[in-house]
Homo-oligomer: A and B are copies of this chain.
Amino acid sequence: MFDFTDRELKTAHDIRIIGAPFDGTVSFRPGARFGPAAIRHASDGLETWSPALNADLESIHYADGGDLELPMGDVALVLAIIREAVDECLNDGATPFLLGGEHLVSLPAIEAVFDRYPDLVVIQLDAHADQREDYLGVKLSHACVMRRVCELIGYDNVRQLGVRSGTRDEYTLMQRFQTQACLREESLAELVDWIGGRPVYLTVDLDVFDPSCMSGTGTPEPGGIDWWVFQRFITALQGCDMVGLDVVELAPQLDPSGCSSVLAAKAVREMLLMAGS
């Protein structure tokens, strides 16, 4: 029973939640625009206390900045509005935590964060590589977002976990640049070593979860992770310097049971506790 509203920013270590309800480039099944509202609603049924992290949201400084008003039909304008909101958040000394929306919303956020932190590393949890050059001729698409991110910050500074789908070309690319990492316990230790003291942007495409846990997403892909693998990952990253986070691609209307929204809200809770304490 936590909720994001009515919390005030207090210190420079605060986290600001920013809803980015956009799904305009989704090719298969839209609805990620309803993600932020569903996460807020589902958070009502969860406790503030995390037994796994031994921590409570009551002790974390975060605030919900509400949803951005994003004009469907004008992708460039949408990205500019998100960029501006993240810039403002950083100017205020707060860490941005985006709630998507589709995965493309991560791009302007990462651009803004990279501007401040030139040694940024990006950690991606995702079922899909998102490494296409373009999709039906469109380069600013949720199917291409990590390609754009890699072009911006360099393949060397990106790690992709949970990827199990892509074209042959995308797999060739990932192998050439060795961007893929593994979620096994020993691999997570290596990942944390690799990060070192560098600032981290963590982007979680919820389709990294198996569709059995997360049916409410536009492009489900069988063979994903379960909750405890995610929990272990979050625990492993405690202590890293998180400078930006997002959770994207929840399409709640595809899951009438509401369980996907509950899982997304719990993921947000654990990420807040990991980044904020």
Is A49 a contact partner of B167 (Cβ separation < 8 A)? yes
Query: A110 to nearest B CB, angstroms?
Result: 18
Complex Cα gap A192–B137 (Å): 44
Complex Cα gap A220–B259 (Å): 6
Q: Tell whether A171 is near chain B: CB-to-CB under 8 Å.
A: yes
Contact with B along A208-224 (1 / 0, CB 8 A): 00111101100111110
The answer to whether residues A49 and B258 also contact, given A138-B71, A140-B73, A212-B213 and a CB cut-off of 8 A, is no
Is A257 a contact partner of B258 (Cβ separation < 8 A)? no
Main SS at interface, chain A: loop
Residues in B whose Cβ lies below 8 Å from that of A164: 51
Residues in B whose Cβ lies below 8 Å from that of A257: 211, 215-216, 220, 254-256
Q: Tell whether A69 is near chain B: CB-to-CB under 8 Å.
A: yes
Residues in B whose Cβ lies below 8 Å from that of A45: 28-29, 219
Query: A47 to nearest B CB, angstroms?
Result: 6
Q: Tell whether A27 is near chain B: CB-to-CB under 8 Å.
A: yes
Contact with B along A100-117 (1 / 0, CB 8 A): 000010000000000000
Given A25-B73, A71-B135, list of 5 further CB < 8 A pairs? A49-B168, A73-B104, A73-B138, A211-B213, A222-B259
